[in-house]
Amino acid sequence: MDDVAIVGGGLSGFSIALLLQSRGISTVLLESHSRLGGCAGFYPRCGFSFDIGATTLVDFHPEGLGGQFLKEVGIDDVRLESLPGYKAWLPDREVEVAREQGLWHAERLVKLGDTPRHRKFWQLLDDIASAYWAATRRGIKLPIRKLDDLVDNFRALDWSGLRLARYLTWSVGDALRHHGLDQDKALVGLLSMMIEDTVHARIESAPLINSALGISIRGAGLSRPTGGMRGLWRKLSRRYVDLGGRIKLRTSVTRIDGSFGDFRLTFAKGSVQASQVVCAVPIGIAQELAPNCAKALDRFVRRDCAAMGGGLVLCLGVPEEEVSESHEGHRHHQLLQDYQSPLGNGNNMFISVSAADDRLSAPAGFRAVMISTHCELSDWWGLSKDDYQRRKADTVELLIRYARRVYPRLATTPVVCELGTPRSYKHYTNRPYGSVGGARLNMTNSNQNAVPYDIGTRGFWLAGDTTWPGLGTVACVLGATHVAKGIEKLTGGWAKRANPQA
């Protein structure tokens, strides 16, 4: 019997497995797909490797949450390219969203408005981001479930964080209206793209504190591993196996029974037993797998089912000359086509291009290009086979046409040109209707109202983008750290356990 069984080999589940295994707590990881990664995975095709979902890492510099995680589990050979930021292409202007904070602060005033209202608005976002990034790195945890959580959060928050906690009841729309900027189309347009990408929310309902963190992630540090997510997963999985961890791919768990000390996870070719269980899958799937926990999860599943969204990703393998424009060294771009049209379906999109010397991502003389945008799940279901193929073809044409604002010769002679849709995500990850990124955050499902890691069944844990704090690589690591600490307490403390493999 293992100490812990983890269902789901995305970044959240695998981070928990690595943390536990590195401390001598035996784990087995069960993943239904043939590869690890989930929504931070990769898709190999014709000598190329495309990032599917996350294309960059956030806060993985040595002092960041991600960097501390890698150090904690004994990984010191991940080669990370620190990105300078990216370029945002609005309908009527270009804005350089720089990693270096002085450059970004100057750019946003020049390009988006330098009035007292603008300065006060940005100062508010900066203050919130600074206080809550610091609290995040000190281990803040929500929702507060018990006295220990409250005490730990007070320790994580300094006076500035406590003072700014009053903004927990504000949306970004509230902040814009308060500063008289809600009709500033360029400012609202840029913020809308940033918020959609980082907290999967719309600007009117997006929680202000969460959004301030999402808007400021460039300052927290964007990086890309050599080989993209494929390169990262090579390092993570190798370390896990070296530590004695067991990975079971193509293993779709169908049922979880039992209680603390004696859980049984059943799948097509057998079962495993474990003292504790982590469900690092969407909570709707967790509810189906674990009948004993279904009632506790029901209200969250019902509440958030209408808030789920989808994504599209176009994978292009192209000759290097098609992306040869330098754009001041930026290979990552965010585009908004029209201020008046709804977000998604190409109106806002993100372009990522692999580095010239990255042979894991593309053969010599070629580059891997990933174009992603959000979509409604309902747009891609209920279609006939012919209608589905037509919609895919039309979407590919649209995304390429929009992307040629940045790279005019893009996809002239592609080696690979394939579109992933919600149906693709459903097929490969089994996420409900192919949803990605957890629920769109609002006041009723975030922070103190978020899905907790512990729903009251001893030894049964939730993790992943449908729990607090939501989607994103740094969110996955933060959630994994909290779950691992909870498991530690039930196993008697990591420090008391021998670890002969470390």
Per-residue pLDDT at 334 exceeds 70: yes
Topology of 307-433 in CATH?
A: Polyamine Oxidase; Chain A, domain 2 (3.90.660)
Residues 51 and 371 sit within 8 Å (Cβ to Cβ): no
At 328, the pLDDT band (50, 70, 90 cuts) reads confident
Backbone angles phi, psi at 472, to 5 degrees: 110, 150
Query: What's the fold here for domain 2-41+59-77+226-305+439-496?
Result: FAD/NAD(P)-binding domain (3.50.50)
Q: In terms of Cα–Cα distance, which of 228, 363, 375, 224 is closest to 313?
A: 375
Q: What sections of 208-356 are H helices per DSSP?
A: 208-215, 217-221, 228-242, 283-289, 294-304
Residue 161 is which amino acid? G
Torsion of CA 183, 189, 190, 191, to 10 degrees: 70
The span from the CA of 78 to the CA of 82, in Å, is: 12
pLDDT class of 444 with cuts at 50, 70, 90: very high
**pLDDT value of residue 497:** 43
Tokens of 3: 């100490």
Q: Check pLDDT > 90 for residue 373.
A: yes
Other beta carbons less than 10 A from residue 285's beta carbon: 21
Q: What is the pLDDT of residues 383-432, one digit of tens each?
A: 999 999 999 999 999 999 999 999 999 999 999 999 999 999 999 888 99
* Mean pLDDT of all residues in 252-264: 96
Question: To the nearest whole number, what is the mean pLDDT of the chain?
Answer: 93
Q: What DSSP state is assigned to residue 382?
A: S
From 77-81, 376-380, 399-403, the region with the lowest mean pLDDT: 77-81
Domain spans of the chain? 2-41+59-77+226-305+439-496, 101-221, 307-433
Quick one: tokens of 482? 């909290």
Could you give the C-alpha distances from 398 to 53, 131, 314, in angstroms and in order? 20, 41, 11
Can you give the pTM of this predicted structure?
0.94
- 161-184: per-residue pLDDT in tens? 899 999 999 999 999 999 999 999
Mean pLDDT, rounded, for 79-88? 91
Query: Tokens 């747009």, residue?
Result: 379
**Alpha carbon distance 193, 413 (integer Å):** 30
Residues 6+ apart with CB under 8 A from 319: 365, 366, 367, 413, 415
Q: What angle do CA 224, 228, 233 make, to 5 degrees?
A: 110
pLDDT at position 494 over 60: no
Residues 6+ away with beta carbon under 8 Å from 186: 90, 92, 93, 111, 112, 113, 339
The predicted pLDDT at position 500 comes to: 41
Portion of the chain with pLDDT greater than 70, in percent:
98
Structure tokens at 230: 């494929």
Virtual torsion, Cα 392, 397, 400, 404, nearest 10 deg: -160
In tens, the pLDDT along 92-133 reads 999 999 999 999 999 999 999 999 999 999 999 999 999 999
